[in-house]
Amino acid sequence: MRPPLPKEYPAYYGNYIKLVATNDIIKLLDEQVVDIQELISNVDEDKENFAYEPGKWTIKEVVGHIIDTERILAYRALRFARKDNTALAGFDENNYVANANFGKRTLYNLSHEFALLRESNIVLFKYFDEEMLNQSGIANDNEASVRSLLYMIAGHAAHHVNILKTRYLVGE
């Protein structure tokens, strides 16, 4: 699958899409399941609620944010692929994290949820044909193609994995 063109997504998602260095987005999405589970399985239980500075999310909150964002972007991809022309609202990621109770869950539980969500999305995305991938819609007052949403999902996860590695799990 070709990567999305810049005209297929809002400019602010460009940084995420640039992190995807493959045309086999389904394979990358699948590989990320193992990579993310491996990364967070090595986090000590006493560090699960660690934030690298005051006001920043904890490790569990970062993982929860990846899950929430993937769920929303996948929903948008489904709606657009099915030619639903209803404009969709945006979401406030900080409000979602603040109201999710991620701190009351285990990192193992969040990891399991991520894997189930991603596997479900992969099954859906595998059967998007070229016509579906080229569909676009409006979310948060911006147009995006289905293709770009798949790349956003992978790039967003990669972005936060990089943050976990460089700011949370340094020296692990």
Question: Model confidence over 85-118: pLDDT tens digits?
Answer: 999 999 999 999 999 999 999 999 999 999 999 9
Give the range of the structural domain holding residue 120, as residue numbers without chain letter. 8-168
Q: How far apart are CA 99 and CA 136, in angstroms?
A: 30
Q: What is the pLDDT of residue 172?
A: 60
- How many residues appear in the chain? 172
Q: How many CB atoms lie within 10 A of CB 110?
A: 21
- Residue 61, domain member (yes or no): yes
Long-range contacts of 46-51 (CB under 8 A, 24+ apart): 47/168, 48/106, 48/107, 49/103, 50/168
Extended strands (E) in the chain: 136-139, 142-145
- Residue 2, domain member (yes or no): no
When divided into structural domains, the chain yields a total of 1
What pTM did the predictor assign?
0.96
Q: What is the pLDDT of residue 15?
A: 96
Mean pLDDT of the chain: 96
- Residue 1, domain member (yes or no): no
- Residue 29, domain member (yes or no): yes
CATH (domain of 88): 1.20.120.450
- Residue 3, domain member (yes or no): no
> Does the pLDDT value for residue 171 go beyond 80?
no
Gyration radius of the chain's alpha carbons: 16
Q: What is the pLDDT of residue 157?
A: 98
Question: Model confidence over 12-64: pLDDT tens digits?
Answer: 999 999 999 999 999 999 999 999 999 999 999 999 999 999 999 999 999 99
Q: How many CB atoms lie within 10 A of CB 99?
A: 9
Q: What angle do CA 94, 70, 6 make, to 5 degrees?
A: 95
